Amino acid sequence: MKPPRAAERPHSVVFHGHERNDPYAWLRDENWQKLMQQPEVLRQDIRAYLEAENKYTDSVMKDAAGAMRVLIEEMKGRIKREDASVPQADGPYAYYARYEANSQHPIYCRTRIAAPGAPAFSWTQSEEILLDVNALAAGKPFFRVTSADHSPDHAFIAYATDEKGSESHDVIVRNVASGKVVDQNVSGTDGGIEWANDSRTFFYCVLDENHRPSRVFRHRVGDKQKKDVLVYEEKDSGFFVGMGKTESRKFILINAHDHVTSEFLAIDADLPTAAPQVLAPRRPGIEYHVTHNGGRWFIHNNADGAEDFRISVAPVDSPDRANWSDLVPHQTGRLLLGMVMTACNLARMERVDGLPRIVVRRLSDGNEHTISFDEEAYDLSMVAGYEFDSDTLRFAYSSPTTPREIYDYDMTARTRVLRKRQEVPSGHDSSQYLSRRLMAPSTDGEMVPISVLHRRDTPIDGTAPLVLYGYGAYGMSMPSMFIPNRFSLVDRGFVFAVAHIRGGTDRGYRWYREGRLKKKPNTFRDFIAAAEHLIAKRYTSQGNIVAHGGSAGGLLVGAVLNQRPDLFKAAVAEVPFVDVLNTMTDGTLPLTPPEWPEWGNPITDADAYRTILGYSPYDNVAAKNYPNILVTAGLADPRVTYWEPAKWVAKLRAKKTDTNILLLKTNMAAGHAGAAGRFSKLEEIALIYAFLLKVFGRLHLVKTRGKQRAA
């Protein structure tokens, strides 16, 4: 097949006296809000173009169809078919989710704990199935349960369902004893649910007409939605609204936030009809998050110049900033990431020199100790439990070579017990792989961390193909974690590297500040510097690298392809945010106003306009050679709307001067996260891996490896 060519239709855009022609603006369906819920209303000429691109992708990848099937089975082989999460104790029950052998979706369950006060893993075998998502999903092209929360008295389970991938959810309540649905009256929510302590009232947040979570309602089980009471409404379109509950179960929390400012309100969970109380009024640039213990609020915040954050305390009855006092003071270079509270201890996650660690503080006397780990690069996370009066902290640990491990840590005895190690049924020998942390000098002398994974027998002489993954936005760090799918490339001679570039918080909050707004170009320079350093260290060679990123990481991919296409043989951009200038000048889109603090507001700020214009991938496509490129999109995606990748690909087709492969694959039945099922998701990953193996002339290794595994 010949590649599709999108029609060019003149469309003029003018800001700050600068005129741009956007010939593919017609690919945006003006009825996009309705499209999120009813994909079938997509305008026919747009649908025809997207489907033509999908058919072209299938045609180009036809010779890799067998390899994709092998890759899917290979990746399935690394998934334990019958699996379960580690149970969490809550009073008389232990709650968990499990998968059956061939199931796509989880089954939510509980079982009675053997004796009062016994740990969650001391259960009886009287399993109760609370929710079988597989049964709910049967016959549906897309189905996801985003949250499932039991009521405090264990009588009900409330769950949120998304049937389009658009992240608009219905909330359904079942009676656990009878299994009957007792409430399916709530729709249009963001998927969050928080129960009040009466077990008959819950709170939820609805999406507005522009798909933003902006209003919190109180609902009584069994009532019609029109009877629900508006509890909070956010008037500023630049703020999103979320909810939570303190570990003490004393307060329901409502938070309004953008990327650099936050505000919390609290409702006594025993008094759900009470009005929410603001804890500390929002102030631009001040972020804070709260939890509760006894008569005090514990406040994780960056006020008073605490760029890498501190933990303060304030009385429950007077939580305003004037009454904050330091519990854990600010320390430059030690980024405080979050905290988990129990009755007697406060556990905090912090990052120093790019590596996370957990510090436990005994509240009675302030005594602290650190939970230590040995590997050169690893990922760590804390898991908050249901029970507040407990000395146990659960955490998860993995590294690029070490499968995920779940530990229960006794914060008093300072001992840990392994509760679960991720099984790789097809086998995984960590000793066959090497994981390294490198430091690459960027253009201004900053040192950019790179995590590298490869087989011990992969030659480090410049001949290996290398996948370089990056993100670099919103202060999100890239964890050095175990991702079993990557071994389908690593076992075939690829080096896999992650560049911890500016825009994330991998090296503290300053690392984020230096990669946003007018300093956003540092993100792209860091990624290019990482590629050049890996070439210099002979992990790969110029023109033998894959640039890989998704969402805001897709913006990264698009920007570096415009700047240094010569470095790369291929690129993978998953649901890429590439039409930055058009998106950030459209205040009706879901994420635009909340993201002006991240990118700048090009509508009102001419400097921000020029900065974004300088790197926006779509606006900078030029008549030159580009590497082989695979782009993915989701039709119902509210985060990166489908037309961004579609327009980018259309412009690349018209402008580029090479004959390299350029593919666009749009999932017509999903959104930003792609397929919902655990096995269906593998089909999307197999397409990416088969594309890379094809481009690098290694498809034959799939068949070889497949036969060896079968043997």
| Residue of 551, 579, 616, 619 with catalytic role | 551
List the structure tokens of 154.
Answer: 């264990």
CATH number of the domain that 523 lies in?
3.40.50.1820
* Residue 495 included in any domain: yes
* Residue 24 included in any domain: yes
Hunting for tokens 């995920």 — which residue is that?
A: 404
Cα(637)–Cα(671) distance, rounded to whole angstroms? 4
β-pairing verdict for 128-132 and 93-99 = unpaired
List the structure tokens of 29.
Answer: 């369906």
What 3-state DSSP class applies to 597?
helix
Query: Does the annotation count 672 as an active-site position?
Result: yes
Contacts of 359 (CB under 8 A, 6+ apart): 347, 348, 350, 368, 369, 370, 371
* Residue 521 included in any domain: yes
Average pLDDT over residues 391-400: 96
pLDDT at 244: 97
Task: Find the farthest-apart pair of alpha carbons in the chain and give their distance in angstroms, rounded.
Answer: 73
DSSP state letter for 666: E
Strand partners for 13: 20
pLDDT band at 711 (very low <50, low <70, confident <90, very high): very low
pLDDT band at 375 (very low <50, low <70, confident <90, very high): confident
Cα(405)–Cα(422) distance, rounded to whole angstroms? 6
At 648, the amino acid letter reads W
Q: Are 577 and 633 in contact (CB under 8 A)?
A: no
* Residue 295 included in any domain: no
* Residue pLDDT, tens place only, 81-91: 999 999 999 99
pLDDT at 470 > cutoff 80: yes
Query: Does the annotation count 551 as an active-site position?
Result: yes
Q: Are 348 and 336 in contact (CB under 8 A)?
A: yes
pLDDT at 709: 29
Cα(531)–Cα(609) distance, rounded to whole angstroms? 28
Average pLDDT over residues 407-433: 96
pLDDT at 178 > cutoff 50: yes
pLDDT band at 169 (very low <50, low <70, confident <90, very high): very high
* Residue 4 included in any domain: no
pLDDT at 710 > cutoff 90: no
Hunting for tokens 């759900």 — which residue is that?
A: 272
pLDDT at 411: 97
Average pLDDT over residues 50-68: 97
pLDDT at 581: 98
pLDDT at 195: 98
Nearest CA among 469, 631, 483, 659 for reference residue 547: 469
Cα(121)–Cα(587) distance, rounded to whole angstroms? 50
List the structure tokens of 368.
Answer: 């602290």
* Residue 639 included in any domain: yes
pLDDT at 705: 44
Q: Are 98 and 107 in contact (CB under 8 A)?
A: yes
pLDDT at 115: 80
Average pLDDT over residues 218-243: 97
Cα(123)–Cα(113) distance, rounded to whole angstroms? 4
* Residue pLDDT, tens place only, 487-538: 999 999 999 999 999 999 999 999 999 999 999 999 999 999 999 999 999 9
CA atoms within 13 A on the CB side of 53: 28
* Residue 520 included in any domain: yes
Angle at 390 between CA 385 and CA 396, to 5 degrees: 45
* Residue pLDDT, tens place only, 583-634: 999 999 998 999 999 999 999 999 999 999 999 999 999 999 999 999 999 9
List the structure tokens of 265.
Answer: 């309100």
pLDDT band at 708 (very low <50, low <70, confident <90, very high): very low
pLDDT band at 122 (very low <50, low <70, confident <90, very high): confident
* Residue pLDDT, tens place only, 289-329: 999 999 999 999 999 999 999 999 999 999 999 999 999 99
Cα(19)–Cα(37) distance, rounded to whole angstroms? 34
Q: Are 1 and 54 in contact (CB under 8 A)?
A: no
Rounded to the nearest 5°, which phi and psi values hold at 611?
A: -60, -50
Contacts of 440 (CB under 8 A, 6+ apart): 447, 448, 449, 450, 499, 526, 529, 530, 532, 533, 534
Distance of CA 613 to the CA centre of its chain: 27
E strand or H helix at 672: none
Q: Are 272 and 200 in contact (CB under 8 A)?
A: no
β-pairing verdict for 83-84 and 88-90 = unpaired
Q: What does the mean pLDDT of the chain come to?
A: 95
- Domain around 576: 12-50+428-678
How many C-beta neighbours within 10 Å does residue 537 have? 15
Residues across the chain: 711
* Residue pLDDT, tens place only, 263-282: 999 999 999 999 999 999 99
* Residue 191 included in any domain: no
Nearest CA among 534, 505, 521 for reference residue 440: 534
| Residue of 150, 169, 300, 672 with catalytic role | 672
Q: How many domains does the chain have?
A: 1
pLDDT at 24 > cutoff 50: yes
